[in-house]
Amino acid sequence: MRVTFTVNGEEASADGVWAGESLLYVLRERLGLPGSKNACEQGECGSCTVYLDGVTACSCMVAAGQCEGRDVRTVEGLAEQGGEGAERRLAAVQEAFVEMGAVQCGFCTPGLLVQSHDLIARTAAAGRGVPADAEIREALAGNLCRCTGYEKIIDAVRVAAEREAAEAGEAV
């Protein structure tokens, strides 16, 4: 079947999609978007996390056919265009991951970035303050990292949230 949906703001179509095929497979193998990683294929690891209609989901557990007409945002779409002609700028959480040393092998990073981006959007960037470490850990409970021990990741999310909160006019 043919599946057409919006990916990172642009319409994309894939042909010859098998009925049981996952969104993850379509993104990686048919649309040239390998940022979302394929690891466990059962929702355990979170490395394939994407936004689907603004809500985070493991793309390995979404049937591609369910995405017809929907809006998907992957890790490739987190960097924002600052304005007409401006350069694409990494999202605050991406900058913070680099600065804080939250990336080692990098395999889990795309999923963690999308899931962290969602947490910050719902909290600090929405004027609800910087999430406590417990809230950050809960938000990232479905994303496995075997390198970092998570401490640097938590640091990065906190730093990014503090910056977003400052930008949103919140007292940090």
Partner 1 sequence: MDFLRPSTLEEALAAKSERPAGVPIMGGTDVMVDLNFDRSRPPALIDLTRIAELREWSLEGGALRLGAGVSYTRVIDGPGAHAPALAQASRSVASPQIRNRGTVGGNLGGASPAGDCHPPLLAAGAVVELASVRGVRRVPARDFYLGPRRTARQDDELITAVLLPRPAGPQHFSKIGTRNAMVIAVAAFALALDAEKRTVGTGLGSVAPTPVRAEEAEEFLAAEFDWDTGAPPAEPVVRRFGELAASATRPIDDQRGSAEYRRHAVGVMARRALAWAAAEYRGGLGGGTRCA
Q: Which residues bind partner 1 (CB under 8 A)?
A: 1, 18-20, 22, 41-44, 46, 49, 55-58, 60-63, 65-66, 68, 115, 138-139, 141-143
- Of the two residues 15 and 87, which places its CB atom closer to partner 1 in the complex? 15
- Of the two residues 84 and 109, which places its CB atom closer to partner 1 in the complex? 109
- Of the two residues 44 and 99, which places its CB atom closer to partner 1 in the complex? 44
CB 141 to partner 1: min, Å: 4
CB 64 to partner 1: min, Å: 9
CB 41 to partner 1: min, Å: 4
- Of the two residues 133 and 167, which places its CB atom closer to partner 1 in the complex? 133
Cα separation, 26 vs 19, in Å, equals 11
CB 58 to partner 1: min, Å: 5
